Every structure is written in structure tokens, then in C-alpha cells.
């Protein structure tokens, strides 16, 4: 009798999980744990070293991976892991959502300033660049990875007639940069100490006598040992000034997920794309068929400036997309 009852109880117990199921649960929790650490690093601004600095650039995809992990865990009836992954996804989304929502702009009623920045990769299609300058009536153009040959191609395509004033520091390789302007410019030599590529600075005199200080930005990427130099380069960039309006435009090799970039914004700037809800639009790499995946090209403006419009544009033969921003000065 007792043997029969014991057999019945044993038959009613749920079967022990199979090795395959245990392996899936272990894998789910491993992924959730790594994603949680990723979220902590991003939200806390704790990235140190080259790997984590590059990892946080992909935070939008981390949020997507967390959502996928939650769905897969739920489908496999691992509800605790699904809940944990959903919470990680929510944490990442909280830092991403503001970039997709237009922010209220200051009541700036001064002169307009139309800015274009393109990393030319030393070979960007000159005709396309000139067409963009003409189409958007660009007043100042930040040209990165500007070679001597590329500068000649741009002028031959008509840039000299559209933007005759310039402060150029071209090179034979990727370190060259330049500022092209529609209005008179004066080179600024003591504004800051560039680290990495050439980063010319200029004072731009607008019609009516208004002035803007402009910097073409291009630090080295945070790869390997250059990560410390990249941090130093972003720290070296000039802060916003109460006595003048400053605009920084270029390839920052940084996204809004980098603490160093957010620290720069805290020094008196706004990211133009984020202000109009386009902060998640990727700009690199712009190869075909590989689509752009991260946003590292920016126009930063003094917080007193109103951002009216931002367009992310394609330029053939370069691995970056360009950024156009229409600003209104205070």
C-alpha cells in the first residue's frame, strides 16, 4: 500500500529540468547580467578604457538586445529573467528617449547661422558638398579629414565662390581640417590647445556686426591607448562663454552615451540634433551596403542659441554622413 502511494506521489511530481533547459536558463541569466552591467556603466558614466568606451556607443542596440532577451526568456517560461531583462531595457530607454523628442527652444531672435559639418575622408565628393552648401545656404562649413587635394577639388567645384573666407589646416592625411565661411573670419590661435587632429578655430563676423566663435572638432577615436588622449581632447575644447557665442562642429568620435561628451555639453552647450529629436540618427559608418550605426558627428551650440532645423545628409565617397544645422543666435 505504502509503495503504491509513494509511486503515485513520484508520478505526480514535475520532472526535473533537462540539461538543455538548464543550459538555456543559465544562458538567459548570463545575458541579462551582462546587459545589466552595461546599463549600470552607461547610466553611471562609469566607462573606463577603450572597450567600455566603445561599448556604450552602442547603447541603443543594447536596449534592443535587452528587449529581445526579455521576449525570448518569456517564451521559454523563465519569467524572472524576462522581468530582469525588461527592467534593464527600461533603464536604457530612459536615457535614449529624450533624443527622439524635440526640446523647447530659447527665445533667440538674433541672426541666423546655417552650419554644415562633414568628415570628408580625404575624398568626399566635392560636387555633392558644394550642392549641399548651395541648397542649404550654408554660412560656415566644418571640413574634417581635409587633404590638400580635397581642398583643391572643393574650390574647383565652386566652393570658393560660395564660401570665400576660410581658415584651413589641410594635411596629406586624415589630420587635416578647415573652416569655410560666407562671411569674414579671423583665425583664433589661443582659444584652446588641440589634441589629435588639426582643429582650427575662427571668429566669424556676421552681417550687422554680430560675432560667433567657431571650432572645427576632430579628436582621435578612443581606440586602444588613444582613449586617454580622446578624453583629454574633449576636455581641452573651450567651454561656452557668457561674452560670446561659440559653436563646435565636427566629428567628435563620441556619442551622447559617452560621459566625456555629456561633460562637454554640461559646460554650456546643446547638441543640435538632440534638440530637434534627431539625436538617434546615426552618422557612421556610411558604407554601402553597411548602414550607419552610431552617431558621432555633431553640431554643438551655445545653450542660448535656438536650433530651428537639423538634417543628416549623405556625401558619396566618405564613410561619414554630414550634419546640417540651422541656428538662430541670441
Per-residue pLDDT reduced to its tens digit, 197-248: 999 999 999 998 889 999 999 999 999 999 999 999 999 999 999 999 999 9
Distances (CA, A) of 127 to 20, 119, 163, 226, 265: 59, 15, 14, 34, 33
φ and ψ at residue 317, rounded to 5 degrees: 75, 15
Continuous H helices in the chain: 2-12, 19-44, 49-57, 59-75, 79-96, 126-135, 148-156, 159-162, 226-236, 259-266, 272-275
Helix axes 59-75, 19-44, angle to 10 degrees: 150
pLDDT of residue 16: 62
Instruction: For 206-271, list the strands marked E by DSSP.
Output: 211-217, 245-251, 269-271
* Residue 244 phi, psi dihedral angles, 5° rounding: -150, 160
Number of neighbouring beta carbons within 10 Å of residue 212: 27
Q: Are strands 297-302 and 269-271 parallel, antiparallel or unpaired?
A: antiparallel
Residue ranges of the chain with per-residue pLDDT less than 70: 1-18, 20
Q: What are phi and psi of 133, to 5 degrees?
A: -60, -40
C-alpha 106/C-alpha 35 separation (Å) is 37
Residue 143 is inside which H or E element, if any?
strand 140-144
pLDDT tens for each residue of 175-190: 999 999 999 999 999 9
**Cα 235 from Cα 249, distance rounded (Å):** 15
pTM: 0.92
Provide the residue ranges of all domains of the chain, joining segments of one domain with +: 15-99, 105-328
What is the model's pLDDT at position 184?
A: 97
DSSP 44: H
56: which 3 cell numbers? 556604450
Strand partners, 270: 301
Model pLDDT, residue 15 = 57
Q: What is the pLDDT of residue 324?
A: 99
Q: What pLDDT does 249 receive?
A: 99
The CATH architecture of the domain made up of 105-328 is 4-Layer Sandwich (3.60)
Amino acid at each position: 500500500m505504502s509503495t503504491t502511494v509513494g509511486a503515485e506521489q513520484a508520478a505526480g511530481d514535475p520532472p526535473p529540468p533537462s540539461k538543455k533547459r538548464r543550459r538555456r536558463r543559465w544562458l538567459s541569466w548570463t545575458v541579462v547580467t551582462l546587459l545589466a552591467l552595461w546599463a549600470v556603466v552607461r547610466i553611471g558614466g562609469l566607462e573606463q578604457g577603450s572597450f567600455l568606451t566603445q561599448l556604450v556607443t552602442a547603447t541603443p542596440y543594447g536596449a534592443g538586445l535587452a528587449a529581445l532577451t526579455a521576449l525570448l526568456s518569456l517564451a521559454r517560461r523563465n519569467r524572472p529573467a524576462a522581468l530582469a531583462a525588461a527592467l534593464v531595457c527600461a533603464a536604457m530607454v530612459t536615457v535614449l528617449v529624450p533624443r527622439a523628442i524635440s526640446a523647447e527652444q530659447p527665445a533667440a531672435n538674433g541672426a541666423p547661422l546655417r552650419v554644415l559639418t562633414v568628415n570628408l575622408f580625404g575624398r568626399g565628393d566635392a560636387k555633392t558638398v558644394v550642392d549641399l552648401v548651395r541648397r542649404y545656404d550654408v554660412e560656415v562649413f566644418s571640413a574634417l579629414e581635409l587633404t590638400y587635394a580635397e581642398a583643391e577639388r572643393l574650390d574647383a567645384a565652386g566652393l570658393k565662390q560660395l564660401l570665400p573666407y576660410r581658415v584651413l589646416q589641410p594635411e596629406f592625411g586624415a589630420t587635416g581640417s578647415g573652416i569655410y565661411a560666407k562671411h569674414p573670419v579671423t583665425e583664433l590661435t589661443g582659444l584652446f590647445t588641440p589634441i589629435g587632429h588639426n582643429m582650427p578655430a575662427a571668429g566669424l563676423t556676421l552681417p550687422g556686426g554680430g560675432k560667433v566663435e567657431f571650432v572645427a572638432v576632430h579628436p582621435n577615436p578612443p581606440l586602444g591607448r588613444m582613449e586617454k588622449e580622446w578624453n583629454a581632447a574633449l576636455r581641452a575644447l573651450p567651454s561656452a562663454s557668457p561674452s560670446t557665442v561659440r559653436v563646435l562642429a565636427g566629428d567628435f568620435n563620441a556619442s551622447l552615451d559617452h560621459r566625456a561628451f555629456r561633460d562637454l555639453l554640461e559646460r554650456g552647450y546643446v547638441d543640435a540634433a538632440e534638440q530637434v529629436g534627431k539625436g538617434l540618427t546615426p552618422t557612421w559608418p556610411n558604407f554601402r551596403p553597411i548602414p550607419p550605426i552610431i552617431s558621432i558627428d555633431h553640431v554643438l551650440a551655445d545653450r542660448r542659441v535656438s536650433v530651428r532645423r537639423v538634417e543628416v545628409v549623405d556625401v558619396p565617397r566618405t564613410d561619414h554622413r554630414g550634419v546640417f544645422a540651422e541656428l538662430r543666435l541670441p
